[in-house]
């Protein structure tokens, strides 16, 4: 667990489990998918009769004269396991992560599984006497990123040592209990052979084997925790990893107080939508948003008690519409996404032309334009919707300006759940580390200015949306 926190999550390696850890494990599973089909036995593809062939993962047969070999005058022993051991599947997934995120300089990538499950019939076809591949082993080939050639010899040995041995604590021989074992170089220098032959019997029970990816992955671990009623675990109650909490950064004192998000007013009679612009917000004398220090940061508050402040609303409006006075009362395209008002998507991520031609009901609703009052109501509804969406992800107290910055990020991207590292750092009270994560959410650099502005708001309590 400490290694997962350090290497994947990038947080303090406390070894304690909280909701952020559960979420990160589930995200890890999705981010590094592996097909289960290559692990299945190939006996049927190599001439085994219908009666002899297995369904991909054996028939629970013990070695016998009819299906295995004689060795030293006796039949080779060993029972076909009920699938591939899940530790092999997850170890390969871990190797993919390390090659991608920690050892990319090697220039290697996962190639294919050459041999996974080998039932007794397949072993007899191949003339092999070992029992490892009855569910306890797999052979994996790796390729060079540059030209897709096989990684072999000394290069493969380097990969094994740096990824499997050093990073994953696998053993290059069969000498340590409960560790993944690798075949040494003198046996093979063309692939990585992993097996669980050194696992204790209690870790080789049928429940540790799987025949499908769904069975190997299991349910999301956060779902399991909720199903078992471990809500304190999901919410980090009593088990939050400890990190130094940054002292609040002093900001100039301002007299303006944050106000709750405005409630949607009743719709007035329709007016000419294109002829109106909302007046400048109170206290604002220019189209652009003035650089404003938020109220002095004191004690962080439960996020459930926070709403976007008026400064935060102005901040979001300027980033979405360019300034405080411009409003888009008729649908228009932003990067081929039909939008109206303050960044409100009309109907999914399609252009206005696509929506018009497809007869979109939502587009028809807005096609003639909206009033200023309707625009304000729509903005307020969107802000509240995003707030309700992100609150379950916020598990630690926040200053108003930190909450406003997170709301701006979520309003722009649709939410926060997908930003696993940001939430992991935030929910372990690593506020500075959380702020740093904003810099990696730039859509290929197109949103760098906005992220820098949000980071300044989060860290320094400065509301500056000028761009």
Tell me the percentage of the chain whose pLDDT exceeds 70. Answer: 82
pLDDT at 77: 63
pLDDT at 457: 94
Output 46 or 308, whichever has higher pLDDT: 308
Output 265 or 79, whichever has higher pLDDT: 79
Domains of the chain: 1-36+218-239 (no CATH), 37-211 (no CATH), 303-460 (1.10.530.40)
Cβ pair 428, 240 in contact under 8 A: yes
Q: Cα separation of 323 and 319, whole Å? A: 7
Q: Which tens digits make up the pLDDT trace of 178-235?
A: 999 999 999 999 999 999 999 999 999 999 999 988 888 888 887 788 777 776 676 6
pLDDT at 168: 96
pLDDT (average), residues 56-77: 67
**Sign of the torsion angle spanned by Cα atoms 34, 37, 43, 46:** negative
pLDDT at 87: 96
pLDDT at 273: 37
pLDDT at 290: 62
pLDDT at 64: 56
Q: Cα separation of 327 and 323, whole Å? A: 9
Q: Is 90 helix (H, G, I), strand (E, B) or coil?
A: helix
Q: Cα separation of 81 and 213, whole Å? A: 16
DSSP H or E run through 463: strand 462-463
Q: Cα separation of 240 and 265, whole Å? A: 42
Length of the chain in terms of residues written: 467
Q: Which tens digits make up the pLDDT trace of 116-157?
A: 999 888 887 887 767 788 999 999 999 999 999 999 999 999
| Total-model pTM | 0.52
Local structure of residue 62 (DSSP, 8 states): B
Q: What pLDDT band is residue 74 in, cutting at 50, 70 and 90?
A: low
Q: Is 3 helix (H, G, I), strand (E, B) or coil?
A: helix
Across the chain, mean pLDDT equals 81
């Amino acid at each position: 667990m400490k290694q997962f926190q350090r290497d994947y999550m990038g947080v303090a390696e406390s070894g304690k489990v909280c909701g952020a850890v559960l979420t990160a494990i589930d995200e890890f599973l999705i981010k590094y998918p592996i097909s289960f089909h290559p692990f299945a036995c190939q006996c049927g593809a190599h001439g085994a009769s219908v009666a002899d062939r297995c369904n991909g993962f054996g028939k629970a047969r013990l070695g016998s004269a009819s299906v295995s070999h004689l060795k030293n005058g006796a039949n080779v022993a060993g029972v076909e396991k009920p699938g591939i051991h899940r530790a092999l599947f997850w170890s390969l997934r871990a190797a993919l992560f390390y090659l991608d995120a920690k050892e990319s300089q090697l220039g290697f990538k996962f190639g294919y599984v050459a041999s996974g499950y080998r039932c007794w019939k397949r072993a007899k076809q191949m003339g092999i006497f070992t029992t490892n591949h009855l569910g306890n082993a797999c052979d994996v080939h790796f390729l060079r990123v540059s030209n897709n050639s096989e990684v072999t010899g000394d290069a493969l040995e380097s990969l094994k040592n740096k990824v499997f041995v050093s990073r994953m604590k696998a053993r290059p021989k069969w000498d340590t209990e409960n560790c993944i074992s690798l075949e040494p170089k003198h046996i093979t220098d063309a692939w990585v052979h992993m097996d669980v032959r050194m696992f204790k019997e209690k870790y080789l029970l049928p429940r540790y084997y799987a025949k499908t990816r769904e069975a190997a992955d299991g349910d999301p671990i956060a779902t399991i925790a909720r199903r078992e009623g471990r809500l304190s675990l999901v919410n980090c109650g009593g088990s939050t990893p400890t990190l130094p909490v940054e002292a609040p950064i002093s900001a100039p004192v301002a007299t303006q107080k944050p106000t709750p998000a405005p409630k949607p007013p009743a719709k007035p009679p329709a007016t000419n939508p294109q002829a109106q612009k909302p007046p400048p917000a109170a206290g604002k004398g220019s189209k652009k948003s003035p650089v404003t220090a938020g109220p002095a940061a004191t004690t962080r508050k439960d996020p459930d008690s926070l709403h976007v402040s008026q400064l935060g609303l102005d901040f979001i409006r300027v980033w979405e519409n360019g300034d405080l006075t411009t409003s888009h009362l008729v649908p228009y395209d932003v990067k081929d996404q039909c939008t109206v008002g303050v960044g409100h998507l009309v109907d999914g991520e399609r252009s206005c032309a696509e929506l018009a031609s497809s007869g979109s009901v939502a587009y028809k609703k807005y096609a003639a334009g909206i009033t200023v009052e309707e625009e304000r109501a729509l903005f307020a509804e969107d802000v509240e919707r995003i707030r309700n969406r992100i609150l379950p992800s916020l598990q630690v107290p926040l200053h108003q300006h930190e909450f406003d910055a997170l709301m701006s990020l979520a309003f722009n991207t649709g939410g926060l759940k997908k930003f696993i590292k940001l939430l992991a750092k935030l929910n372990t009270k690593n506020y500075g580390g959380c702020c740093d994560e904003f810099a990696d959410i730039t859509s290929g650099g197109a949103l760098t200015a906005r992220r820098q502005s949000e980071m300044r708001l989060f860290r320094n309590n400065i509301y500056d949306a000028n761009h």
